[in-house]
Amino acid sequence: MHLARQSLNFAAEMTKSMFTTLLELPLFQGLGTADVTAIVEATRMEFDTVAAGQTLLHEGDACTGLTFVIGGQLTMRTPSADGSWHVDELVDAPAMLGLDVLYGSQRTHRHTYIARRETSVMHVTKSDVSDLTSRYEVFRLNVLNALTTQTVRTTVSLWLPPADTLEGRIIRFMHNHVQRPAGYKCFDISQILLGQYLGEDPRYISAALARLRKLGLVRTDRRMVEIDAFENLLREFALYRSRQGDKYRKVSITK
């Protein structure tokens, strides 16, 4: 009897812990107590721990379900199509990986995820995701909201007005190649290659990066442009441009 009581208490604690964990994750937010309890009891959830430095998912791996980051931090590395350069971004818990490639014709991961420190994750298979989507309206709305947010973000960036300085064009290039315009970013790209993308001489690229570095907005090396907080870069450069006005534009144009 005593052992049975202990087992029941342990099961109750596990259910409570899972309930709290799920409500912190995208797609599960807004679900009621009864729905979350039913999901915990009926859905196959695989848990894993990834040691610091180990790779959780590789770019090109088949997407067979959703991976939820429930603790820790990952580096998300996105390579160019030819593999000549890449950009690193940080993914903090709670987060969701794989929804953009779970359905459709492109069902392989577009990023590589590497643990920066010990990271806890939860995997839910594609069939279980489909089942949850059909059974729970809140879950289904959360899926649609996540997908439409990604689509709108991409569409809006395509219609932004052209930048009128080389620094602005460099920032726009970076903005168009990040998954989220906030947080830490590190571009592993040579100034020669960046110049080819922008149609500019590498000397002018170097000078423009030096001006951004002097403003304290970036750190640079021969193959690296590093930004601590991308949202600060966007805000501070916009403020600086507004204060300088046409004077800054003329200086930048002359390189």
Residue that the structure tokens 């059909």 belong to = 134
Task: Return the percentage of the chain with pLDDT > 70, whole number.
Answer: 89
| The pLDDT value given to residue 76 | 98
pLDDT at 15 exceeding the cut of 70: no
Write down the pLDDT at residue 214: 95
pLDDT at residue 8 tops 90: no
Instruction: Return the pLDDT at 160.
Output: 83
Supply the angle between the helices 191-198 and 166-176 in degrees, to the nearest 10.
100
Q: How much is the pLDDT for 245?
A: 64
- Confidence at 104, pLDDT banded by 50, 70, 90: confident
From residue 184, alpha-carbon distances to 49, 180, 255 in Å are 23, 10, 28
- Provide mean pLDDT across the span 86-96: 96
What's the pLDDT score for residue 67? Answer: 96
- Going along the chain from its start, the domains and CATH numbers come out as 44-157 (2.60.120.10), 160-253 (2.60.120.10)
* 94 Cβ neighbours under 8 A, 6+ residues apart: 24, 25, 26, 68, 69, 70
Q: CB of 8 within 8 A of CB of 30?
A: no
Whether the per-residue pLDDT at 4 is higher than 80: the answer is: no
Lowest-pLDDT range, 46-55, 98-107, 165-174, 211-220? 98-107
Edge-first strand listing for the sheet containing 95-97 = 45-50, 119-125, 65-71, 95-97
Residue 222 has pLDDT above 90, yes or no: no
Helix (H) or strand (E) holding 102: none
Higher-confidence residue of 17 and 23: namely 23
Is 60 within 8 Å of 108 (Cβ atoms)? yes
Strands 73-79 and 86-92: antiparallel
Lowest mean pLDDT among 9-13, 76-80, 117-121, 199-203: 9-13
